[in-house]
Chain A
Amino acid sequence: ETGVTQTPRHLVMGMTNKKSLKCEQHLGHNAMYWYKQSAKKPLELMFVYSLEERVENNSVPSRFSPECPNSSHLFLHLHTLQPEDSALYLCASSQGLTWGHYGYTFGSGTRLTVV
């Protein structure tokens, strides 16, 4: 366990479904991130939250909707996804919006399959 917990670990959803991914950290960090990793591709930064405010949205389609109710929790709400959205979705946290000397702490990810 890294201190960043993601649920569920695996998710299969239809294109018309609505689902949510959850991320929780108890490291006392105040910044949280969503990354997407498609097969054979580098990690893509999707959203950045600092002190529960969204500070970056990297041109992500509106079918992905993040929510950060407090500094310990981050959600990614999904609706009307496409098969190409199938990927590993990774959550990370950090103390401040910097790498620090230990970078980000990542969760184990949610493997999403859209059918």
Chain B
Amino acid sequence: LAKTTQPISMDSYEGQEVNITCSHNNIATNDYITWYQQFPSQGPRFIIQGYKTKVTNEVASLFIPADRKSSTLSLPRVSLSDTAVYYCLVGDNEGSGNTGKLIFGQGTTLQVKP
């Protein structure tokens, strides 16, 4: 799995847009980019997944530049309840016959303040 690098922590205020960038310089052609959210004492929850350009769902947007060496998770108008750890993962979601194990890094701890 490609290694990812993301900031350890970020602070924001309610109502602001938050952008968390993840670097994945060694991303492979078949790799997808997936983001998870984890609240304290809960399991991670899938947020969004993309391959290139832009993906949007009811929770977030994911921006992926043409070279795919980075990606940005965008959370619009955050609230206190968005305080969580956000993980960026990169890998082949079809597994290619291998166990496409989810290997988590440190993630980005987002603290939303009132």
Contact = CB atoms under 8 A, between A and B. Distances in A.
Interface in A42-101: 42-43, 45, 48, 50, 55-56, 88, 90-92, 96-101
Interface residues of B, number: 26
A103 to B, nearest CB: 5
A88 B93 contact: no
Contacts of A101: 32, 49, 93
Contacts of B92: 98-99
Which DSSP category, helix, strand, loop or mixed, fits chain B's interface?
Answer: loop
Contacts of B81: none
A23 B6 CA distance: 31
A108 B44 contact: no
Interface of A: 2, 4, 42-43, 45, 48, 50, 55-56, 88, 90-92, 96-109, 111
